[in-house]
Amino acid sequence: MRVIVNRHQAAHAPPQETDNGLPVPPWEVPDRVAAIRAALEVRGGFVFEDAPPGDADAVTGLHDPAYVTYLRETGAELAKARGAAPRFVVPSVFPFGPAPRVRGGRAARGGYCFDTFTPITAGTYAAALGGAAAALRAADLVAGGGDRAVYVLTRPPGHHAEKARCGGYSYLNNAALAADRLSKLGPVAVLDLDVHHGNGTQHLFYHRADVLTVSVHGDPELLFPYFSGFEDETGTGPGLGFNRNLPLPPGTGERKYRPALETALEVVSGFRPAFVVVSFGVDSHEADPIGGFRLPTEYFAKMGAGVRQSGVPVVVVQEGGYNCDVLGACAAKFLGGLEGTTGTSA
């Protein structure tokens, strides 16, 4: 299997995130990618390819051009910072109301971000654009017919990024960008298996019938992002009925997760997609520090095998997963199940 690598991912290395007003060590770190790549190299059978250079024009079809410019210019300003100037930007004010007046500065920080977990650093834009380039390269490969499955090994994640807002460690929505490109060739199903609901992906396709979004995740009443991912969110306008959420309670293990995944796969199959894009998270693992689910390592092979049953080309985009001790093994299991070399039906 071909693995598209974002060689700029380590440029994004936030010194902290902010939780309940307190600075805490970040969970989303460059070591995540290193852990997965090491495990895949040990397993063998993977060909690693650097993503092509990122192109801002390639992401502004989905993301607001002004937002993309904000990410780029904020990073450039931080790169010039000297002395005691801060090396990262995080919102302290979140504009709200029917027509908030956001003209820049501190208002822009909150206008373009929905949480305090997602700082922008000097290297954030390069890393995010590199991830987008990797996902688009994977989409082009499966569209070309030579690859039945391609894995995008990147960070920061993307599925929380909305049209003009970052959050949830996400800045550009890699999976959505891949799905949007593939949608020019036929219907696409996005299957989100991260423990946190992909509010950004839902947001971007909520009004569209050509891209189905299906997500299995933790109940948003109790788990990030808290405001998105409820069962009654089913789409709007032409997209009505083309968004499906399957929220599950804290402590969910294989017994409760399996029927939800089976339902998700049935919904995907019923849509008859030409392509499937998987937002793949390992934060549903029993040892993840912030997920709250109880899935064992071996179950990830069954997840991959279930996706394989779709019978169509698949792009797998790495999203969450924050225990570097298990990340690599879970990714290897999932990809092995997807290839049909390990695992059984979900």
DSSP E strands in 193-259: the ranges are 211-218, 243-248
* CATH classification at residue 54: 3.40.800.20
User: What is the mean predicted confidence (pLDDT) over 303-317?
Assistant: 97
Whole-number pLDDT of residue 151: 98
- Paired with 192 in beta bridges are 215, 279
Residue among 220, 180, 222 nearest 198 (CA):
220
pLDDT at 85: 67
Spatial CA neighbour of 318 closest among 42, 44, 9: 9
Q: Which residues contact 129 (CB under 8 A, 6 or more apart)?
A: 8, 54, 55, 56, 59, 172
Mean pLDDT for the chain?
A: 96
Strands 243-248 and 211-218, by their bridges, are parallel
- pLDDT, residue 343, reads 44
Predicted confidence at residue 346, as pLDDT, reads 56
Residue with token string 């030579």: 146
Structural domain of 84: 2-339
Structure confidence at residue 132 (pLDDT)? 98
DSSP 11: G
Cα radius of gyration (the chain): 19
Residues involved in catalysis: 160
Tell me the pLDDT band of 311, cut-offs 50, 70 and 90: very high
pLDDT at 175 over 60: yes
pLDDT per residue as tens digits for the range 71-116: 999 999 999 988 766 789 999 999 988 888 888 888 899 999 999 9
Residue 346 lies in a domain: no
Which tens digit of pLDDT belongs to each residue from 15-57? 999 999 999 999 999 999 999 999 999 999 999 999 999 999 9
Diameter of the chain by CA atoms? 58
pLDDT at residue 171 tops 80: yes
Reported confidence tier of residue 342, pLDDT bands at 50, 70, 90: low
Could you report the per-residue pLDDT of 181-229, keeping only the tens digit for each?
A: 999 999 999 999 999 999 999 999 999 999 999 999 999 999 999 999 9
Residue 345 forms part of a structural domain: no
Report d(CA 157, CA 160) in Å as an integer: 8
pLDDT in tens, 117-130: 999 999 999 999 99
Q: How many domains does the chain have?
A: 1
* Percent of the chain scoring above 90 in pLDDT: 92
pLDDT at 99: 81
Question: What angle (nearest 5°) sits at the alpha carbon of residue 159, between those of residues 45 and 166?
Answer: 130
Tell me, yes or no, whether 344 lies in a domain: no
- Is position 207 within any domain? yes
Q: Is residue 87 part of a domain?
A: yes
CA atoms within 13 Å, Cβ hemisphere of 56: 12
Distance (Å, whole) CA 233 – CA 246 = 10
Q: Cα(227)–Cα(248) distance, rounded to whole angstroms?
A: 15
What are φ and ψ of residue 331, in 5° steps? -65, -45
Q: Are 336 and 295 in contact (CB under 8 A)?
A: no
At residue 59 the predicted structure's pLDDT band, cuts being 50, 70 and 90, is: very high
